[in-house]
Structure 1
Amino acid sequence: MSDWYIILSLVPGIFIAVLFYLYVDRYEKEPTGPVILSFVLGLLASAITYLLEEYLSNTFPQVQTKLWSAFIFALLGVSFVEEVTKIIVFWAYPNRIDAFNEPLDGIIYFVLIAMGFATVENLLYGAIYGLETILIRSITAVPAHGIFGVMIGYAFGMMKFKHLTRKQALSIMGYAILLHGVYDFFIIQNASDYLLIGALVTLGVGIWISLRYIRQAQNLSPFKGAST
């Protein structure tokens, strides 16, 4: 894998992480240490999850040929595994630190973990499938991880500060996992290339939801109006 391939694989995840840090986290910037560590923990989580997904893929190699089987695999073998791994990482670190002091921080830290996760995933798939895969994933799969990260991070942040009940927050997390599964289903199925359009529709829905959640969390910030 050439140096250019590595750079192109790294750029999308880092770019989105920086974008959220600089422009989404508007009223009270998070400390540098937790920001970097959250991203790094996402890197480590991705490597572990990749090995598990490869095992599942090799164990059920024909799953993509039937639509229903492809959906179950996408939901449980990919989406559920990936998002639960990120949730465990989030619960173990950002959720417990003092810097997590407003609902918006749930989004920021979860997206940082998701971008670390997506960066390693991009590197691994790029090494196997080449430049075209890196470029396509840079505008689809990597942002998708950010979208699902916004949804789950929003749920954590709103639950932590009592704006949502646990049941409501878990429902949103479940919807995020389902949306991720639907997206991956359209990607991994090989019944029809036309179904790939469904992945773009799923991303569009996810972007709309994410923007709403970001605005809601920003409006609830106790630091709004106090920042200079």
Structure 2
Amino acid sequence: MSLILMAVAPIMVILIYIYFQDKYEKEPVGLLIASFLLGGIVSVLIVTALYLFTGQFIPITDEYSVWQQFIQAFVVVALSEEFSKYVIVKYFAQPKKAFNEPFDGIIYAVMVSMGFACTENIMYVFQGGFETAVLRAFTAVPAHATFGVLMGYYMGKAKFSKTRFRLNMAGLFLAVLFHGAYDFFLFIRFIPGISIGAFISLLIAIMLSRKAIKRHQDNSNFKSL
């Protein structure tokens, strides 16, 4: 039970933080919970299916190959995982009437991302124990949140734009870019010291996420109400 609490606690902290960043017009709690559960169940199932496909057709034959690790990081992992989250936001959240301002893209994308991260974190923490729980609380979990913010920023803009497809794709691309970079620097651990690149990419993603949140807050349709 303690391991489950340690796995879930950082997820809850981020969810509460993002919820209160939605300052001017809160989303229905039922939709937020549904988004979280879809991320934790449906997104995970999509990723599992994609992993089975990519694992068969894009196998690692040389773990010391930088190119193969690049493909694993950006295509096999990042694209699969972010696409699985994107599908939920695009087809479940974005069409909802409650999705009525650009900031809603951020909150729904983060809810889906945290649902996915919750399932993933529980599995990793059960395998790795206390140290894994502490490490992931400050790395992988906030990383998933920032990927969600970056995706959601553009998906929030997309709903109210005539260039919806382009903006939706921009959100997916940015999430994949930072997710892939984060994983890539961790995957090529055979190069001494290169893992610092993962933390640098995470810090950049966090800074961009804070700017994205602030920009949508400032431009909220409900700010003056």
Compared with structure 1, are the counterparts of its residues 29 and 168 closer, same or farther at alpha carbon in structure 2 (3 Å cutoff)?
Answer: closer
> Does 2:129 match 1:106?
no
Match of 2:218 in 1: 219
Identity %: 36
Deviation at 1:189, TM superposition (A): 2.0
Unaligned runs of at least 5 residues, structure 1: none
Unaligned runs of at least 5 residues, structure 2: none
Match of 1:182 in 2: 181
Match of 1:36 in 2: 33
1:97-136 equivalence runs, <5 A:
97-136=96-135
1:1-228 equivalence runs, <5 A:
3-22=1-20, 24-49=21-46, 51-52=48-49, 55=52, 56=54, 60-162=59-161, 166-226=165-225
- Asked if 2 retains the 8 angstrom alpha-carbon contact of 1:46 and 1:120, the reply is no
Q: Give the number of aligned pairs.
A: 223
Instruction: Return the TM-score normalized by structure 2.
Output: 0.91
Compared with structure 1, are the counterparts of its residues 63 and 134 closer, same or farther at alpha carbon in structure 2 (3 Å cutoff)?
Answer: farther
Deviation at 1:209, TM superposition (A): 1.1
- Which segment is superposed worse, 189-198 or 66-75? 189-198
Instruction: Return the TM-score normalized by structure 1.
Output: 0.90
CA distance in 1, matches of 2:86, 2:51: 20
Compared with structure 1, are the counterparts of its residues 125 and 62 closer, same or farther at alpha carbon in structure 2 (3 Å cutoff)?
Answer: farther
- Asked if 2 retains the 8 angstrom alpha-carbon contact of 1:74 and 1:188, the reply is yes
CA distance in 1, matches of 2:48, 2:62: 18
- Asked if 2 retains the 8 angstrom alpha-carbon contact of 1:65 and 1:190, the reply is no
What amino acid is aligned across from residue 82 of structure 1 in structure 2? E
Alignment RMSD (CA, Å): 2.0
> What per-residue deviation string (whole Å, max 9, x for no partner) do you get for residues 47-106 of structure 1?
325634764568735554211110111101100000000011112211121110000000
Deviation at 1:219, TM superposition (A): 1.3
Deviation at 1:124, TM superposition (A): 0.8
